[in-house]
Amino acid sequence: MRRLLDGAQTIPDACSAALSRTCQEPSLTTDFGLARGIDTQAFGQPGQRTFRLRIVGADGETASMWLEKEQLQALSLALKQMMGQLEYNGDPPAAHVGDFPVTAEHDFRVGRMGMGFSPSDRTVVLYLYEVGLEDDDEPTLRVHITQEHCASLGAQLDEIIAGGRPLCPLCGLAVDAGGHACVRSNGHSKQPIPKEETDEDES
């Protein structure tokens, strides 16, 4: 069973409106089998970061999957929900992909993702769709991930997401270093949002 991710359900292809589909051969899914390793990376400063999911397949194939932050957050949420349903409670091992090449064999920007579960080997199945694919197209890449690898990936995603820009407690949008035009204050205030008071501050 496969479901798409967006927050919890669908990650839309942010560029699909700007793309026109040309005549091409039907896309074939690359099957990585059971991943040897999977991790994620962030490049750049908060607010201008680029994110990459690195995967090493069963036969040593490598893939670099480029994601938006919203997709990273959706993947993190979906993994939490999946691991909760599987009642996994082990300590996440360290993420490891070995000596990953500078240029992966498969390298593309992800438009959509899907997640499923394989009861035969109790692995999580991740489906990745390249930007520009239609809704009824097959995924560009499919990979099975052990529950241990899912736990380590989830922990790494949480760390990367937490390393981004802080969120405004009023409107929930990201706050830049130079201030924040909060929509809850009609966009007039660009002052940094003050820290919330604690019981110690009030005493």
Task: State the pLDDT at residue 180.
Answer: 59
Task: State the pLDDT at residue 14.
Answer: 34
With CA atoms as reference, report the closest residue to 193 among 183, 201, 203, 202. Answer: 183
Task: State the pLDDT at residue 11.
Answer: 36
Q: Which two tokens stand for residue 95?
A: 């993420």
Task: State the pLDDT at residue 96.
Answer: 82
Positions in the chain whose pLDDT score sits under 50: 6-26, 191, 193-194, 196-197, 202-203
Q: What is the spatial distance between Cα 156 and Cα 93, in angstroms, rounded to a whole number?
A: 10
Q: Determine the topology of domain 2-162 in CATH.
A: Secreted effector protein pipB2 fold (3.30.2450)
Task: State the pLDDT at residue 16.
Answer: 31
Task: State the pLDDT at residue 1.
Answer: 53
Task: State the pLDDT at residue 185.
Answer: 61
Task: State the pLDDT at residue 179.
Answer: 62
Give the pTM: 0.71
Cβ contact 52:64 at 8 Å = yes
Angle at alpha carbon of residue 149, lines to 64 and 131, rounded to 5°: 30
User: Where, residue-wise, is CATH 3.30.2450 in the chain?
Assistant: 2-162
Task: State the pLDDT at residue 63.
Answer: 97
Task: State the pLDDT at residue 24.
Answer: 41
